[in-house]
Structure formats: structure tokens, C-alpha cells
Amino acid sequence: MTQLKITNSYTREKEIFEPLHAPHVGMYVCGPTVSGETHLGHARPYVTFDVLYRYLKYLGYKVRYVRNITDAGHFEEEGREAVDKVATKAKLEMLEPMELVTKYTNIYHDMMELLNNQRPSIEPTATGHIVEQIEMIKDLIAKGFAYEKNGSVYFDVLKYAKGNDYGKLSGRILDDMIAGSRELENQGEKNNAADFALWKKAAPEHIMQWQSPWGMGFPGWHIECSAMATKYLGTTFDIHGGGMDLLFPHHESEIAQSSISNGKPPVKYWMHNNMITVNGKKMGKSYGNTITLNEMFTGTHELLEQGYSPITVRFFILQTHYRSTLDFTNDSLKAAEKGLQRLLNAHNALRDMTYKADGTIDSNEDSAVNKLCLDCHDQMNDDLGTAQVLATLFDLSSRVNSWKNGQQKMNASEETFNILKKTFHDFIDVILGLKDERTSGDEGSMDAVMQLVISLRKQAREKKDFTTSDIIRDELLKAGIQLKDGKDGTSWEKS
RNA sequence: GGUCAGAUGGCCGAGUGGCUAGGCUCAGCUCUGCAAAAGCUGCUACAGCGGUUCGAAUCCGCUUCUGACCUCCA
């Protein structure tokens, strides 16, 4: 069996995962800013890191998964007048900031649940950790790496860069950045354009502001993650995840702040998922192609021909490696929808199947099935190769289906059969989190009713009364239930 | 403009120095009262041009094209 390897964005290498304090693993993932509705772009990182979280637990680690909620307003654009994003939106909607934040947080939680993402161990909010952030800023000032100007506090990037490699994570050269940002206006307050804000003085009209040693204001964007990660995971922890767009400046700045404040680099493994596109184009507000998750699931967006279920979206995401860009199109989503059904059908069939040796055991077939099961683990260990795992499961699905339909004899050993069963369960249910959305709630009574209908139809068919049997079948299909005639009788499922 | 990624069959997408990825679509077949479902078979690709190599789609260089980041962003 191979060991888990993950691509570390910091070293740009695939590295063997070795926790700092096994069996414990500390994992921090940047959460959403809850000033808007949860959209397609959010689905990618949270599904990706949910699978990592599930897999680490599956491997036996005790994981503390921290994912924050950014509910404090932040300046929109550095160099221009500070704008409190949350407050601005709140004024438009005539809501209290807290009301707005709660509304979008609730939507976010609902969407995460639909996507079958497990809840993090700790979900800290920025506004709930103002004190910690102020303390860290005070510490940075005391250590001489931050300075106060007119009620705002900035991090001294140039000083930091003398002893540290600022830009290593994002592959940037400080001198270039300084040269490139000279044209920006209103850099006046900063000693240098590359410096970033730790604390911003709030204008009187800002709704969200707090008392600090530097007057009324609000925290800079980067400091919250440093403060909260340190508080809950310690000065150095195992994994920090997020979207690639956060590499710079967010994570670069996090490294700088935490390294000075804690005296050592904060993270052992940096992991970044790639971005999504819609019909080949970046999704963004300025492109007018932002699709919220609610629109995705219900199909209420002009770019969508239909709704796609949360698990279809999840499956679609997992069919692509997390470090590649992922393009959402109607055609590819429809393909994913069908593929998912096929996989889950095989999974259900296998779950309900009992071992029966009907024929001689083919040792070649037996070892082939065994190898494919082992492959799943190796593929998952190779930097979360979920796309490959799914391909392998599809391979195995053909066998399962042919056994079920009697198209091929079950020529594997009972031991292999049990391994196969466990592999499907472990990967589909436990690790990838692909639940069957068609089986809901009142399955028991529903099935009893369906068995009755099926038996009536069978009687009709035996009497060659195909008119009746076809009415039953076709009307059920209209009602969203599909009958499947097989060797061992008829089964049904919601379509 | 700077930096960094990609360019794979009808579509989506893995992956790899030599051996069929997989999914969807399409065609044929098997099964079936008919269909659906399922299985089987077929369609076999790696942008272009050089180079390294016994051998490259996989390594190197150049060209073309696309995308991302550099600003709030997942």
C-alpha cells in the first residue's frame, strides 16, 4: 500500500504526508465571506477539502478541521478609499449587517449540507475574534514589523523580506511587485506600496467598527486567518487549504504575519484547488455569469438548461483533479448526471447482493478485481486522485452489473467479493460522500407499495395483458419511477 | 505589460517514456412480449515544428492558441 502524497503549493512538489503530531492532524481552510449568496465557486474548495477531511479520518487520523466565516467588512480595493463591503450591501438591502451576515451564513450552511460536506470541527467567525486579531497586531508592532499611521496599521513587507522569502508561495518577486504598483494612487499612508493593512481606521459611517489601541476601526483581511488558525491549531499546523486565487496576497501575507508573530512558518503543507469556469470563461460578478448554488440545483439561471442536483455537482467536481481548472457546461453536467446514476445503481446492486459461488473461481478474474480495489487506494493516495478512483469504480461496476443480471458468473472468491463490497462502500459513501439522493425518507412503505404494483403488473404480463402492464410502467415513469425488468424479476428506482 | 499554467478522440476529462483510462454521445449485437435498464462490440486521441532517446502524446526548445493570477474573489 502506498502512502498519502499531496502537492504542497509552497514547495511545488508532491510530498509524502506526515503529520507534525500523529495521529492528530490540524487543517485550516479559508471559508467564505458571507456578504453574498453561496455560488458555484464555493463548491469546489469545500468539496475538495471535505474529501480530504473524510479521507484523513478514514486513514485513522484525528483531524481538527477549522474553516472560518469572514463576516467582518473589508476594504474593497487597497489604495483607494476603504469601503466596508458588508455595510455597503446592507445599506442597499436595508438590513442590519448582522442580519445580512446571518442570512448568507445560513444559505451557505444549507448548501454545504446539500453537497454532503461534513461540518468542520470549528467554524470561527472573524467578528468573534477581534481581540485575538488586535493582540497579534500589537505583537507585530512590538516586534518592529508593523507600524501605525493615522489610526491604521500596516505590515512592513520590506523589513520582513530582508530575512524571509516574501513571494515564495505565490512565485512573485518583491522588486517587480513594487515596481508594478508605483502607478497606484493613494499609497501615501503606507511606507511602501507592498505593505498590507493589518488594521484599518474606520470612517464614521462604517457600521462595523471596533475599539482598538489605534482608535475605531476594523481588521485587515489577512489577519483573521492568522489569528484564528494560531488560536485553534497552534503556531505550526499541518494543512492550510483554499482556492488558488488566495495565494496572493492572502496566503503570502498570512505566512509573513504568522512567521513573525509565532517565530516560525505557520503551515507544513499548503494546498490549493484550481478555479472553475462557466462555458470556458471565468465566473465573476463583472462577467455576469455568476451562478449561485441555489440556481444550479434548481436550474433557475439563463445559462442552465436544467437543474443539476447537489450530488451531481459534487460528482462532477470529483471527476476532475482538484489542481486542474474545471469548466461547467450543460453537456458535461448532463454527462456527469448520467454517469453518477450508473455508478450508484451498481453500488446499490452490489450492496443488496449476497455472495453465491455459481461456477469455478477464475483466479485471473479474482486477482483482477482485487487489484482494482487496491488501485483505488493508490489513486487516492496520489494527491487525491478522485477522478482515477471514479474511473476504477466504473470498471468494477461493469462486473457488478453483469453478475447481477447473470450475464457473467460470479467467478471471484468470497473474500474478494467482500473486499469489493467494502471498497464500494468506503469510497462512495465514506470518502467521496456520494449519497443517493433518490432514496429519501419513507423508503420502507414506498417499497411495499411498489412491490404490490410490480406483482400486479407481473400477473398482467403472465396473462399477456400487455396493455395493462405497459400502462403501469409508463404511468409510473411519468410519476418519476422507473421499472427495470431483469432476470430475477423487476426492480424499481426513482428516475 | 509581468508571472504562471494548459493545449488529449464527437463532447467532458485522467494519466504515463514502450502496455485499452473512465464518463457521456453515436452505431451494432445480446437479453426482453415491446421498451427501458444492464452487458458486449465498434469509433482510438494526445496543438504545430524541431531535438534527446532503441522508443515520446509523455523529457527539452521554439511557434501558435487558450486560461489563470498580478485588485475583492473560492
Whether the Cβ atoms of residue A396 and residue A326 lie closer than 8 Å to each other: no
Across residues A161-176, what is the average pLDDT?
82
Where residue A482 falls among pLDDT bands split at 50, 70, 90?
confident
Residue A202 lies in a domain: yes
- pLDDT tens, residue by residue, A62-119: 999 999 999 886 533 333 334 566 666 766 666 677 888 888 999 999 999 999 999 9
> For A390-411, what is each residue's pLDDT tens digit?
999 999 999 998 888 878 888 8
ipTM attached to this prediction: 0.90
Q: For residue A320, which nucleotide's C1' is closest to its Cα? A: B13
The reply to whether A399 and A454 lie within a common domain is: no
Residues A268, A370, single domain; the answer is no
pLDDT at A380: 93
For chain A, how many structural domains are there in total? 3
Same domain, A77 and A214: yes
For chain B, which bases have at least one atom within 7 A of a protein Cβ? 1-4, 11-15, 21-25, 31-40, 66-74
- Name, in order, each residue with C-beta under 8 angstroms of A158's C-beta and a sequence gap of 6 or more: A174, A191, A192, A194, A195
Query: CB of residue A454 closer than 7 A to nucleic acid strand B?
Result: no
Strand B neighbours among A 286-325, CB < 7 A: 319-321, 324-325
Query: Residue A437 falls within a domain, yes or no?
Result: no
CA A398, C1' B65: Å apart?
Answer: 39
Task: Report the C-alpha gap between A107 and A11 in whole angstroms.
Answer: 36
Q: Are A311 and A435 in contact (CB under 8 A)?
A: yes
- Considering the domain architecture, whether residues A223 and A311 belong to the same structural domain is answered as no
A99 lies in the same domain as A225: yes
Check which CATH number belongs to the domain holding A96 and give it. 3.40.50.620
Which residue, A273, A293, A321, sits at the end of a domain? A273
Q: Would residue A125 count as lying in a domain?
A: yes
> What is the predicted pLDDT for the residue at A14?
86
Tell me which residues from 35 to 64 on chain A have a beta carbon below 7 angstroms from nucleic acid strand B.
36, 41-42, 44-45
Rounded to whole angstroms, how far apart are CA atoms A68 and A122?
8
Domain final residue pick, A431, A456, A480: A431
Which nt is closest to the CA of A222, judged by C1'? Answer: B72
Note the CA–C1' distance, A332 to B10, in angstroms.
13
Task: State the CB neighbour count (10 A cutoff) for residue A171.
Answer: 11
With respect to residue A438, please indicate whether it lies within any of the assigned structural domains: no
Q: Which of residues 348-377 of A touch strand B (CB under 7 A)?
A: none
Spatial contact of A25 and A233, defined as CB atoms under 8 Å apart: no
- Domain of residue A294: give its range: 278-431
Please state the φ and ψ torsions of residue A16, each to the nearest 5 degrees: -70, 130
Q: Are residues A285 and A264 in the same domain?
A: no
Q: Average pLDDT, whole number, for chain A?
A: 86
Residues A262 and A285 placed together within one structural domain of the fold: no
pLDDT digits (tens, 9 = 90+) for A309-342: 999 999 999 999 999 888 899 989 999 999 999 9
A180 touches strand B (CB under 7 A): yes
Q: What is the pLDDT of residues A187-242, one digit of tens each?
A: 567 888 788 889 988 877 677 889 999 999 999 889 999 999 999 999 999 999 99
Domain end among A273, A294, A311: A273
Phi and psi at residue A63, to the nearest 5°: -105, 130
Residue whose Cα is closest to the C1' of B39: A402
Q: Which of A38-47, A122-131, A272-281 has the lowest mean pLDDT?
A: A272-281
Same-domain status, A259 and A143 = yes
